[in-house]
Structure formats: structure tokens, C-alpha cells
Amino acid sequence: MRSALLTSLVTALLCGCAVGPNFKAPEAPRVDSYLPAPLAAQTGQDAQQYVSGKDIPGQWWSLFRSQALNELIQQSLAHNPTLQQAQASLRQADEAAAAQRGSLLPAAQASYEFSRNRDATGTLQPTLSSGAPVYNLHTAQVSVSYLFDVFGLNRRQLESAQALADSQRYQLEAAYLSLTANVVTAAIQEASLRAQLAATTEMLNSERESARILRHQFELGSIAQTDVMAQEAAVASLEATLPGLQKQLAQQRHSLTALAGRFPSDEPQQQFELSELTLPLEIPVSVPAALVRQRPDILAAEAQLHSASAQLGVATANLFPQITLTGTKGGTSTVFNQMFTNGNTFWTVGGSLTQTLFQGGALIHQRRAAAAALDAAGAGYRAVVLAAFQNVADTLTALQLDADAMSASLKAQQAAAESLRATRHNVELGLTSYLALLSAQQSYSQAVLNLAQARASRFADTAALLQALGGGWWNSDGHGTFPRARGVPTGG
């Protein structure tokens, strides 16, 4: 037993091994699709098609072909404080890893000491060769120490620090992706609210005109007062919806302003209308196996798992001896410029081997805690992967249903438009009343409002899908604001 242990120790000394597990990135999930059923070739109205394996552009928002949106996103990237905070956190993590890298090299320290002394010559022997009781003493020395990283303690600590820096790097990419997606979504929501306000205002005008006609008919005695009261109630009910829409629009403007790093009183000039946005007709959809190399949240979780693996190696290495070599060279003299003359210099060379024999089981429990932390990080990684696949599946399903809703809303709008044209023609021929025309106009306005909401949902869910697939950050050379991340995928 002792012979085997001695052999292992000698082998470790010669080879410089690192104890603990060597990290291996988890394999991609072995699934062929995001949904139980295969994706449809296209999503219905406007022939929006899925293109499997096509790469996502780095500036994915440019697919909406809005110059105002491009400009606002660039302003947000330059001034958003949340992104700046993530950038600073990355710099901090990189510097921490660089500091840890110094533990692999020898440590050297230089020191100089000066003292004014008086010896008790009546009691002690003089300390100076001259026998002088009062003297100055100058001492200068250089000390060098080196911890032989036989069992990989320092290397595992460096590995953990680098993994944490990688995690922060991917968290920065996630912050970038979240910011751009939030700006796109807020712009789409603003455009939707403007369309809803316009349609509601048009409906309100029709309702008010209907009320005016009914009041005139009541004055002529052709209808009952209850008919007028019912119409006026409808007008009041519709008027009550306007402040809510206006409040939502104002809050959306405030949200866009904050995303751009501005105060609410300094709104950006850009305003958004649905008619100014273009729905991407080709949607890149990465194969499932590529998703784990594209989502920054998955890559950040993988880096956290890597750090936990390295920390298990650190806890394991602490169970083994620590070997340190030290050396000191210097000089001492009562005269400053004679410290390094013959007879005044000194040096020492030594080594130490330290092994903890008893510490109440602390090292064993620390290793068990590190192993439990690794298990927790592994479970956390799997949870992030599952959530990512669910996110993609949700957005794919939403897009398919959005297409169905868009088709139904478009048919309803076309039918309402045809009914409005027919009713207007009948009014011109005297075949129907003017109230019927107002009713047709109200139906058309409601159909326009529903269509605007369906279009906005389709825009928003398209952006959500591009975000869920990773946003193409690996195709951007630093986005103009921060370095490109290491270990990026090559795309779908």
C-alpha cells in the first residue's frame, strides 16, 4: 500500500498531473425537431417560410428593414447602462482570471529595512564586530518562492477563473441579445398601439355620427329615446377605451427611451408604424443540435458547469501535499552603500512539503461539497437547455397560430371592406339607411383594429423566434461595443 502511494506521488511529481475531473462539454441533445410534428413549409399568409439550417445574421433586426429601428438599436447599444454594466463585469472577470494566472509563476519580493539601534552592552554581548553600542542597520534582500503545482491546485483554480470569465462573456452576449430584442419588441408594440388608436378613433367617429343621426330622428319623433340612450352609451364605452390605449402608448415610449439610455423627458425622435416594418419572409431555423452552441444562456450555464468541475479539482488537490521552494539573497550593513560588500551578504535556499494530517475532516467535506456543487451545476445546465428548447417550441407554435389568426383577420377585414362598399352603394341609390352605412363603417374599423393586432403579434413572435435561436451574435464582430466572445459556434 505504501509502495503504491509512493509510486503515485513520484509519478505525479515527474508528470505534473492535475487531479480532479477533466471537463468535457455536454453533448447536444439527441432530438431531431423542436415540435412533435414537422414544421410546415410556410406559415400561411404572406408565405413566411422556415429555412432549416440557414444562419442568422449578426444584426438580425435588420430583417425588418426599418432604418428608424436600426438607428434606435445602435443608440441603445451605445448608451444602455445595463449593457455597460455587463461589459464592466466581463472586464472584472477577465482581470480576475489574469490575476489567477500569476499563481503559476514564481513569486519574487524585494525589501529594504532600516533601524536605529542601541545594545545593552552591560547585559548582552555586542552584536556588531566593532562593539559599538549605537548603530544604524540597513538590510536589503530579494526573496523568491515557487509552489510546485504537482497536483494541479493552481491550474484548476485558473481553469475555474477562466470558465467564470467565459460565463460572464456569454452573459454579456445574452444582455446584448436581450437589449436588441426588447427594443424590437417595444417598437412593434408602439406601432401596434398607434394602429389600434387610429382604428379606435375611426370607430368612435362613426359611433358619434350614429348618435347624432339618432338624436335627429328622435327629435322628429321617428324613434324612441331609448335608442338614442343606447347609442350614447356605446359612444361613452368606446371613448373610455382611448385613455387606456394612450397610456399604453406613452408607457411604451418611456420604455423605448429608457432602453436607449435616456430620461423620459428626452424621447428619441424615432416613431414606429406597422406600415414601416417589413415581415421577414424567410426565417432561419437552426437544427436542434446547434442550439446549445448558439444560445448564450446555455453557453453561460456550460461555463458555470466547467467552473464547478475545476473547483472539484481544487478541493481534491487540497488533499495532497504542497511542495514549495524558497530562496533569499541579500545584504546587511551599518552603512547603506556597503550592504553588498564581502562579508555583509547572506543567502538561504530551502524547500518545504506540507501535508494536512488532521483538520476535523474539513478537506473531505469540502471535496464532497464541491462534488455536490458540480451535480447542481449539471442539473442547472440541463434545466437551461430544456427551457431553451421550450422557448423555441413556444415561438414556433405562436408563429403558426399567428399566421392562422392573420389569415382569419385579413379575411374578416376584406369581408368588412366589401360590405362597406356595398352598403355605401345602396345608400347612394336610396336602398338603405345612413345608419346601416355607419354600422358597416364600424365593422370595418373593428376588422382593421383586429388585423393590426394580428400583424403586430406576427412581427413580435418573429422577433421572439430569432431571439430564441440565439440572435446570430456569433456573426457579429463585437457589435462595435465589445470584443467577440471566444468559442463561438459557426452557425446552424
The pLDDT assigned to 122 comes to 76
Strands (E), 149-187: none
Greater model confidence, 472 or 41? 472
Determine the Cα–Cα distance for residues 403 and 462; give it in Å rounded to an integer.
11
What pLDDT does residue 46 have?
64
Instruction: Report d(CA 466, CA 60) in Å as an integer.
Output: 7
Helix (H, G, I), strand (E, B) or coil at 138: strand
C-alpha–C-alpha distance, residues 87 and 173, integer Å: 10
Q: Is the pLDDT of residue 334 over 80?
A: yes
pLDDT above 60: residue 8: no
Who has greater pLDDT, 287 or 390? 390
- Provide the pLDDT for residue 55: 87
Distance from C-alpha of 283 to C-alpha of 322, rounded to nearest angstrom: 57
Place of cell 477562466: 162
Q: What is 75-112 written as a DSSP string? A: HHHHH-HHHHHHHHHHHHHHHHHHHHHGGGS-EEEEEE
| Residue listed under C-alpha cell 389568426 | 405
Q: Render pLDDT for 370-405 as a digit per residue (tens, 0 to 9).
A: 999 999 999 999 999 999 999 999 999 999 898 888
Instruction: Read off the C-alpha cell for 377.
Output: 451545476
- Domain segments of the chain as ranges: 16-103+150-193+249-320+361-480
pLDDT at residue number 42: 59
pLDDT, average across residues 461-481: 82
Q: pLDDT averaged over the chain?
A: 87
Model confidence at 441: pLDDT above 90: no
Tens digits of residue pLDDT in 42-62: 555 567 888 887 889 999 999
Chain centroid offset of residue 184 CA: 16
Which whole number is the average pLDDT over 275-293? 90
Q: Which CATH number does the domain 16-103+150-193+249-320+361-480 belong to among 3.40.630.10, 1.20.1250.20, 1.10.150.130, 1.20.1600.10?
A: 1.20.1600.10
**97 pLDDT higher than 70:** yes
pLDDT at 5: 40
- The average pLDDT across 250-265 equals 95
CA-CA distances (angstroms) from residue 437 to 207, 409, 429, 440? 11, 21, 12, 5
Q: Quick check: helix, strand or coil at residue 326?
A: strand
Q: How far is CA 137 from CA 15, 112, 118, 121, 346, in A?
A: 46, 11, 11, 17, 15
Rounded to an integer, the average pLDDT of 308-327 is: 93
Question: Can you tell me the mean pLDDT for 426-440?
Answer: 75
pLDDT of res. 9: 45
User: Which pTM does this prediction carry?
Assistant: 0.84
How confident is the model at residue 427, as a pLDDT?
66
Mean pLDDT to the nearest integer, 321-348: 91
Task: Confirm if 400 and 470 have CB atoms less than 8 A apart.
Answer: no
Give the pLDDT score at 6. 44
Please tell me which residue, 213 or 378, carries the higher pLDDT value: 378
Q: Is 274 helix (H, G, I), strand (E, B) or coil?
A: helix
